[in-house]
Amino acid sequence: MNKRAHEEGRQTTSIAAVVDCVGSLATGSLAGNLYLYDTNKSGGSTGHGSEDLHTRVKVGDQLLWTAFGLECETFLRIAEISMDETVCVPERHLYPGTDVSYWIATVKKNPIGELPYRLAFTVGARREPMFAPRSPVLFGTDQATA
């Protein structure tokens, strides 16, 4: 384990999305069927379990998004993450040797205020992705107190 890098202050924050696949497909919407979490609660993130998770970030942090269905055997995948690309550019990768994907990005600059971003998911066998109606947010350290 690279202990030094661990202590350097650069951090990897994982953001996990849990989708109720049956609920989303039956109602036609992710509203009420999406739960977001991240691993930076101790660093100030809020809204764990809600659709508008507020993730605290700083320059150099690595962000990693994963998703799975509440019904664990149902197919689910993040189809798209759209946000202001001056802050970070999420890219999709596969876990080596599998067809399970994750999205990863490095925070290039401190977001000023709150930066909302949009998530879209491919649920079950439905071809068109479903967009989350509410936007989770990245927010940075206040410039004045940095």
CA 131 – CA 31 distance, rounded (Å): 10
Number of residues near other proteins (by CB under 8 A): 54
The mark string for 73-102 relative to other proteins (x by CB under 8 A, - otherwise) is xxxx----------------x-xxxx-x-x
Whether 123 and 24 have beta carbons less than 8 Å apart is answered as: yes
Which residues contact residue 104 at a Cβ distance below 8 angstroms, ignoring those fewer than 6 apart?
62, 63, 64, 65, 90, 91, 93
3-state secondary structure of 37: strand
Closest distance to other proteins from the beta carbon of 82 (Å): 19
Q: In what order do the strands lie in the sheet with 91-94?
A: 34-38, 12-19, 62-69, 101-106, 91-94
* Site membership for other proteins, residue 9 (CB under 8 A): no
Restricted to residues 25-64, the positions that interact with other proteins (CB under 8 A) are 25-29, 35, 37, 39, 41-42, 48-50, 60, 62, 64
Centre a 10 Å sphere on the Cβ of residue 80 and count the other Cβ atoms it contains.
14
Closest distance to other proteins from the beta carbon of 9 (Å): 12
* Site membership for other proteins, residue 109 (CB under 8 A): no
Closest distance to other proteins from the beta carbon of 137 (Å): 18
Task: Out of 56, 123, 141, 146, point to the residue binding other proteins (CB under 8 A).
Answer: 123
* Site membership for other proteins, residue 10 (CB under 8 A): yes
